[in-house]
Structure 1
Amino acid sequence: MRAFLAIEIEDYIKQNIDRTQEIIKESDCARINYVKSQNIHLTLKFFGDIDEDKKKEICDVVNNVTSQYNEYKLKLVNVGAFRNINNPRVIWVGIKDKTTVDLIKELDVEFEKIGFEKERSYTPHITIGRVKNINDKAKLKDTLKSLQKEYYGKMDVKEIHLKSSTLTPSGPIYKTEETFKLGK
């Protein structure tokens, strides 16, 4: 099973992200594969292919860590890009929240103990599109810059999910395998 750990994003925030995708599409300056609204999420950790034994180990770690966290607010802001805004390959919406960063770091330390590679430097983000070809680099840069101060919303984080991903020609299909409630 190809798996990852994620926070689901509330529908009203997805609608705000959809509007941002439309603004970028209308600029008509690049060929971009956009993440479908139903697939928008905040990845905490990508595991790759795992078996049932590894799934159980992951679940044990996540249960232990999430039991130490209370529900909290997650604020979604800004548009950014990896490599960078001058040479974008991935377009994303950022988060503004210390709790999520702390949660990711703590999970990463525990996942390393069960054999997963530690993340180097991770910028928590929601991928909204992957750039395939740029027709007008200056226009794309200007469009992304115009979205850098956007506010997408604030939501309650009450749980995180272990999800499986099946790749298909029309895009990935995600399925929730396990749900972990936050709470001390």
Structure 2
Amino acid sequence: MKKRLFVAINFDPATRLAIARQTAGFPDRPGLNKIRVDNLHLTLLFLGDTDEELIPEISRQLDDISKNFRSLILKFGRLGGFPDLKYPQVVWVGIEGPNLIELRQTIAQLLLPLVPTADTKPFHPHLTLARVSSSTHPELTAILDSQGQRPPFETNLPSTTVSQIDLMESTLTSGGSIYKRLSAHRLVKTPES
């Protein structure tokens, strides 16, 4: 049996609350679907439909990886959109931090041989805030203007420290995705190691 899997950083409740406050100003408009606060995460690697029997080995690999990384301090950057800001399908906030790219590269390097169908697109660290499902949606610029923001749409989110990566399962439903943590892996490298 296959499960839809991804490796992610899940944020603590205080960070999720700060993000929810940031998006509270987004107007309620048809086609603009804000991500539920409990679903906010940073995807490090999307594995996709993966054989269930690979889960123990994926978890072992993530344990090994987590022993080689310290907690990360992540900084939230500017708001943006995919494919662009003018007519976005996804509204996001950029994320950066020391060792974040290295962590993602290590995860991809060790898991791609196990799950060759995993997503190999270039990594652009971001947190999805909303999805735009309507082809008649207003421009993102107009949405942000309604909040009194101006380009480059900087956020005022505080930095956050993360000390864990998670193997997650995603189940698609008509009401949106449901996420379940399958395993948690503490970033435990010490200065001496």
TM range (shorter): 0.7 to 0.9
Pick closer, same or farther for the CA change 1:135–1:7 going to 2, 3 Å: closer
Q: How does 1:12-31 map to 2 (within 5 A)?
A: 12-25=14-27, 28=29, 31=31
Q: How does 1:1-184 map to 2 (within 5 A)?
A: 1-25=3-27, 28=29, 31-116=31-116, 117=118, 119-133=120-134, 134-137=136-139, 139-140=142-143, 142=145, 145-146=150-151, 148-184=153-189
Gaps of 5+ in 1: none
> 1:60-79: CA deviations, max 9, x gaps?
22112111101221122221
Which residue identity lines up with residue 93 of structure 2 in the other structure? V
Separation (CA, whole Å) in 2 of partners of 1:36 and 1:135: 20
Separation (CA, whole Å) in 1 of partners of 2:37 and 2:182: 20
Count the aligned residue pairs: 182
Pairwise CA distance, 1:59? 1.3
TM score, norm. by length of structure 1: 0.87
Pick closer, same or farther for the CA change 1:58–1:41 going to 2, 3 Å: same
Which residue identity lines up with residue 26 of structure 2 in the other structure? I
Gaps of 5+ in 2: none
> 1:55-103: CA deviations, max 9, x gaps?
1221122112111101221122221111011121111111121311110
- Normalized per residue, the structure richer in strand is 1
Which residue identity lines up with residue 25 of structure 2 in the other structure? I
Pick closer, same or farther for the CA change 1:92–1:84 going to 2, 3 Å: same
List structure 1 runs of 4+ shifted beyond 3 angstroms. Answer: 140-147
